[in-house]
Structure 1
Amino acid sequence: MAGTAALFAAVLFWASRRFAVHEDPRIDTVAEMLPGINCGACGFPGCRQMAEALVRGAESGDISGLFCPPGGGDAMNEIGGFFGLDVGSEKQTVAVVRCGGSRDAAPSRTVFDAAQSCALQHAVHAGRSGCPFGCLGCGDCERVCPFDAIIVNPETGLPEVDEQRCTSCGKCVVACPRDLIQIRPVGKTRKHKRVWINCRNTQKGGLAKKNCSVSCIGCGKCVKVCDDIVQAITMDNNLAYIDPDICISCGKCVGVCPTGAIAATFPAVRPKPKKKEAVDA
């Protein structure tokens, strides 16, 4: 029996040496440079897998297509310096809540007496204001955020994003059952000026405004004013959309919107009313 055990031990020792997988020690080094929060914003399940991808990319001489949003430029520059490679440039992004239906703009019409869950309410209920596209305000996005970067304002009932804490991990985007949260560039200027349609309602104007005073009514005024500048706004199914890659944040669309459905991170000047032509007596 002792001889048999010794034989099996020798076989196992030989197999462990023969089929051993030798891991690149650089993976551990790179993993330590990453935040280690395993948020998945980079497109990989965790930081370990991201580190493995970076090492593979370094072997081929190009890691410019890989980026860690929570670590940002500092972490990527450190990793690039470690490999002696250019990490390229990545747009800084932030989560944006696309709904302006506060308690004042969209008064409560019904009460949902059940679990405070956006997913549950969306499945069986139109929402407190009656808008089937508006924010439900139950805080599913707040609960999934690992950085405490999004909080539901108790006065407005809407989520608010802390840009300093947001890492664009996208967990809130997945958690929102009404697709109200989008990861968008912070802006093209130093002041992070950006503009977006603060509504997701595709109903026709009268019905949309019945439930929310700041809903998009599909009038197309924003499209017309932007067509003369950069053509960044399109209209689809009664709802306008601003392409952040084209928009120059001039703010003119904000000024012409009759319902205030377009939000901006800066005060936009509304156009002056045209003077009535003098009528000859």
Structure 2
Amino acid sequence: MDPTIISSIVAVGGLGVMFGAGLALASKKFAVEVDPRIEKVAEVLPNANCGACGYPGCAAFAEAVVAGKVAADGCTVGGASVAAEIAKILGVEIDVTAEKKVAVVQCQGGEAEAKEKFVYRGIEDCAAAELVDGGHKACSYGCLGLGTCVRACPFDAMYMNDNGLPVVIEEKCTGCGICVQVCPRGIMALIPVSQKMYLACVSKDKGKAVRDVCTVGCVACGVCANPKFVPSGGIVMEGNLPKIVNYRVDDLPIAWKRCPTSSFVWRGKVPEGYEDVDRPVKANAVVPGEAKALPQQHVSEEVEKANVGTQS
């Protein structure tokens, strides 16, 4: 064989060995140490990638929790069981007795109960509608009914009923809180699963101002917080709204029964002895109703028709 070819092979082989050794040394010297706990935490997470924890996905949350940037129970979707597993991996102690929460709609002012200031024909988004003269609802606190919370739910745990209000499917709700974050009016809230009664109104107005715009809004009458009817003190008035400070007392059903505008909602089965109570106001929103399909496009059909009419 030609000596030139042999020398070339040796030279190239030598360079290969030299570069390989250099890369091996560099990989060790500049290696980024990855905490093995990150992978272990990622394995126990639900991998929903919902973002409710404040991070873009479960992998990012795993890195953050190992780095100590977030608590071990920061994954609301995983609940107590996942929190316990993460705590075990990290070797920390946490309170796993915290009760699971569920989302509720704090408004009953649907199309049948609440008046409108004008007909909104714009982007099908509550935040966008809020920018147009404070929203189309006459009540400046009520649900705008455009389904932003429903579209945001990563677990399909909500739908819009035929009265223009969102409904929570509690069996699917994980308590992630994303619906709470996207609602521009603070209509959505998270409450403990064992809390059966809540106030479905966030209006800070009272009396005539409420009745002029909604038939089921709280009028701040204070009956529910009156010790004469609710002696336990489970409800107190804060401004013009009653606040449930103790939902474990036995006399809350009395407030639910006596509310003159039926502003309180009872989740699930009505307490024994109250099944046949004839409440003052019949609120359509209490009954879930049929699911109402949300528009796939962001711009309503009315806007498109209006644009066509303008161009012609």
Counterpart in 2 of 1:260?
262
Q: What is the CA–CA distance in structure 2 between the aligned matches of 1:133 and 1:152, rounded to whole Å?
A: 18
Give the alignment's Cα RMSD to 1 decimal: 3.3
**Pair 1:18 & 2:24 matched:** no
| Equivalent position amino acid for 1:32 in 2 | E
Q: In the alignment, what sits opposite 2:158? A: 150
Q: Indicate the larger mover: 116-125 or 254-263.
A: 116-125
User: Match for residue 216 of structure 1?
Assistant: 218
| 1:168 matched residue in structure 2 | 175
Change (3 A) 1:176 1:83: closer
> Partner of 1:251: helix, strand, or coil?
helix
- Higher RCO (C-alpha 8 Å, min separation 6): 2
In structure 1, C-alpha distance between the alignment counterparts of 2:148 and 2:66, rounded to whole Å: 36
Distance 1:45 1:219, change over 3 A: same
Is 1:117 aligned with 2:125?
Answer: yes
Residue 199 (structure 2) aligns with? 197
Indicate the SS of the match to 1:115.
Answer: coil
Q: Which residue of 2 aligns with 1:27?
A: 38
> Structure 1's 73 and 66: CA in aligned 2 closer, same or farther, altered over 3 A?
closer
Structure 1: give runs of 5+ residues left out of the alignment.
58-62, 188-192, 273-281
Task: Identify which of 62, 68, 89 aligns with 2:97.
Answer: 89
**Structure 1 CA distance for aligned equivalents of residues 119 and 204 of structure 2:** 24
Q: Does 1:207 align with 2:209?
A: yes
Match of 2:57 in 1: 46
Gaps of 5+ in 2: 1-11, 280-312
Deviation track 1:25-58 (CA, whole Å, cap 9, x = no partner) reads 232122022111222334544322432355467x
Q: Secondary structure at the match of 1:173?
A: helix
Give the conservation status (yes or no) of the 8 Å contact 2:224–2:259: yes
Instruction: Supply the AA of the counterpart residue of 1:135.
Output: C
* Cα distance in 2, alignment partners of residues 103 and 33 from structure 1: 44
1:134 and 2:134 aligned: no
String of CA shifts for 1:179-209, please: whole Å, max 9, x gaps: 110111111xxxxx51111101111211111
- Tell me the SS of whatever aligns to 2:242: strand
In the alignment of these two chains, the number of paired residues is 257
Deviates more, 1:71-80 or 1:256-265: 71-80
Q: Residues 12 and 259 from structure 1, CA distance in 2 versus in 1: closer, same or farther, beyond 3 angstroms? A: same
Cα shift at 1:78: 4.7
How do 1:242-257 residues align onto structure 2 when only pairs under 5 Å count? 242-243=244-245, 246-248=246-248, 250-257=252-259
Aligned-residue sequence identity (percent) comes to: 38
Deviation at 1:242, TM superposition (A): 1.8
Tell me the equivalent position of 1:275. none
Paired with 1:236 and 1:12, the residues of 2 have a C-alpha distance of 68
AA of the residue aligned to 2:242:
A
